[in-house]
Amino acid sequence: MHEAFASLLNSAAGAVLIKILKAVFLAVLSIGVVSMAVTAKPKRGTTSFTLLRIIFAVAFVAVLCYQAYWQLLGFSHPKFARFLRRYNRRANAAEIQVLRGPILDRRGRVLAAPVRGDIWARRYPLGDAAAHPLGYYHCKYGITAVERVEDPLLSGYLPESDEPPLSKRILTPRAKEGKEVELNLDARLQLFAYDQFQGRPGAAVVMNPRDGSLLALVSSPGFDPRHPQSAFTNTVTKCAFNRAVQGLYPPGSTFKPLVAGMAFDAGIKPVMDCPGSGYTPGPHTAPIRDSEYYAYARNGQVWPGWNNMNLKQAIVHSSNVYFARLGVQCGTERFNSMLARAGLNAPVRYFAGSVGELKSVAGNAPAVEKPLQLAQPAIGQGRILVTPLHVACYTAAVAADGKMPTPRLGAFDPPGEPVRLFSAAAAAYVRSAMREVVTSGTGKAANLRGLAICGKTGTAQVPGGKDHAWFTCFAPEKNPSLVVTVLVEHGGFGAKSALPIARDIMVEAQKLGYVK
C-alpha cells in the first residue's frame, strides 16, 4: 500500500493532490474545532457530542501515527524519499539520514563523492571530463546517467528482502550509508582523452574488444556537473548533448571494414576497375568518386583512378568507387542481414543499473530495397547514421575474431553474449588490411613503433557543413586488447583531426598498461 502511495506522490499529479488534501484536511479540522468551541456545551452523556469527540480523537491519533511512521521509516522507501528530495529541501528531510555513496573508477579512484553536511552537494574530481557518463545529482535539475540508474544503491536503500524487521528499524531509524558503485572507466584515461579535444565538439570511445569494458567514454565539450544549468543555457556548444551515445552521424569510410567482412564471408572479393571518373550506379544518379578525384581537381589536374584493385587494396586506399560497386554486387538481402546483425537500427545498452539501463540512441540504417541503392550505404553515406559507440562495437568485432561484444560501463556488469558479425577468417583478413591502412595507406600518421595499430580513417560528408572526421582503430594487430574510436564534428579529413587524437589516446593507454 505504501509503495502505491509513494508512486502517486512521486508524480506531478501527486504533488498537486497532496497540497489539495492538506488544505481540505486543515479546513475540515479547523471547522470542527471552531464548531465545538462556539456551540453551547450539551449535557454530559449526549450521544451526538460523545460521538463527535470520538471521531476527532480517532482522526487526531491517526494523523499522529501516520506522521510517526513516515518520520521513522520514510527514508527506507526509495520512491517516498525521492519525493522528499524533490519537494522538501529542509535540512531535516528523510534524505539527511543517508550519506550518498561514491562512484569509483576501476582502480578505486573517486569519480563522484558526497560532501558531508550537505545532502545535495556532490564533488566530481574529473569535472567536465566525466559529466556525461556519470551524470549529476541536483536538487533542482534532478538526477541523470549513472547517478540516476544506481540511485537506490547510492542512497542506501535496501531491497525488500534485505530489510531488517520493523522493530529494529524503529529502534535504529538511520539507514545504512549508500553503497559505492564501481565503473570500468579509468579516471586517468578519461581525463586524458577529454583533454585531447581542447573544447572541440566530438566523442571518443575506448573499449576492451574481448569483454566490452569501457575504459573511457568521452563527449566534448562537457559541463560542470555541480552546476548543470550551464549545460542547458549554452545553446552554442550544446554541451548537455552526449555525442558519444546520442549523436547520430554518417560513419563514412569507417563503415567499409564492416562491408568488407560481409563480402569476404560471401566469397565476393573481385578485382575491379576503379576509374578516375568514378562509378554511376544508375540513371539520374550522381557519380561516386574517390576523394583523390577532388584533390586533383583542386590543383587543376585529372585523377587517373586506381584502375584494378582487390578488396584489401580498396580498404587500404579507402576507395569509394570499389566499395560502391562491391555493395551492389553483395545484394540487398545480404546487406540488410549485416545491418541487422550489427544492431545499427537498435540502441546499444552499455550500463545495467538497479533501477534502469543506460542505452545509446538507436542508429538509423534503413533496409535497402533495390541493389543499385546500395552504392551510397556501402561507403557509409546516404541514410546511414550511427553513434560513435556503434562504430566502436563493430570495430571491436574485427579485433575480436568477428565477435561483437556488449559494451560495459559497470565493473560488475556480466559480459553479454557477443554477436558474430562475420567469421574469424574474415576478421583476420580485414584486420590485416587495417594494419596496412596504417603502414601504407590513409592512416600512416598512426604508424608508431611498438604499437602495431590497425585503423581506418573516415571523412563523412554533411549536407550544408564541413565534413565530420573519424578514426577508429585497435592495437596490437595480434590479439588486440584495445579499441579507440574518435569522432570530431566538422573536423574535415579524418586523418588530420580525428587520427591524432586516437593515436595519442592509444599511446597513453599503452603507458597505463592497457595495450600489451
**CATH number of domain containing 437:** 3.40.710.10
Residues 81 and 31 in one domain: yes
Residues 320 and 347 in one domain: yes
Residues 331 and 367 in one domain: yes
Strands 349-353 and 356-359: antiparallel
Of 184, 204, 230, which closes a domain? 184
Residues 355 and 430 in one domain: yes
Give the pLDDT confidence of 406-462 residue by residue, as tens digits.
999 999 988 889 999 999 999 999 999 999 999 999 999 999 999 999 999 999 988
Give the pLDDT confidence of 71-115 residue by residue, as tens digits.
555 555 555 655 555 445 444 454 455 789 999 999 999 999 998
Residues 23 and 113 in one domain: no
Sole residue written with cell 583533454 = 195
Q: Is 13 helix (H, G, I), strand (E, B) or coil?
A: helix
Q: Which amino acid is at 410?
A: G
Confidence of residue 374 (pLDDT cuts 50, 70, 90): very high
Query: Would you say residue 135 has pLDDT above 50?
Result: yes
Q: Is 297 helix (H, G, I), strand (E, B) or coil?
A: helix
Q: Is residue 189 part of a domain?
A: no
Number of neighbouring beta carbons within 10 Å of residue 227: 11
What is the enclosing helix (H) or strand (E) of 67?
A: helix 47-73
What is the DSSP secondary structure assignment for residue 35, as one 8-state letter?
H
Burial of 370 (0-12, 13-18, 19+ CB in 10 A): exposed
Q: Is residue 292 part of a domain?
A: yes
Range of the domain at 285: 250-383+418-451
Of 54, 85, 116, which closes a domain? 85
Residues 109 and 51 in one domain: no
Grid coordinates belonging to 153: 544503491
Residues 434 and 354 in one domain: yes
The structure's pTM equals: 0.82
Q: Is residue 265 part of a domain?
A: yes
Domains: count for the chain: 3
Grid coordinates belonging to 501: 587524437
Averaged pLDDT score across all residues of the chain? 86
